[in-house]
Amino acid sequence: MIESYDFGRMEIQGQTYASDLILFPDKIKDSWWRETGHRLSLKDVEDVFQEDPEVLVIGTGYYGLMKVEEEVKEQARAKGITLVVEKTKKSVQSYNAIASKKKTVGAFHLTC
- The average confidence (pLDDT) of the chain is 96
- 102 burial type by CB count under 10 A (0-12 exposed, 13-18 middle, 19+ buried): exposed
Q: What gap in Å lies between CA 11 and CA 87, rounded to an integer?
A: 17
In this structure, whether the domain defined by 2-108 belongs to CATH 3.20.20.70 is answered with no
Ordered by start, the domain boundaries in the chain are 2-108
For the full predicted model, state whether its pTM sits above 0.85: yes
Going by pLDDT thresholds of 50, 70 and 90, the confidence category of residue 33 is confident
Mean pLDDT of 100-107: 97
pLDDT tens digits, one per residue of 6-18 = 999 999 999 999 9
Strand locations in 1-112 (E): 2-6, 9-12, 15-17, 21-23, 28-30, 39-40, 55-59, 67-68, 82-86, 104-108
- pLDDT (tens digit, 9 = 90+) per residue, 41-61? 999 999 999 999 999 999 999
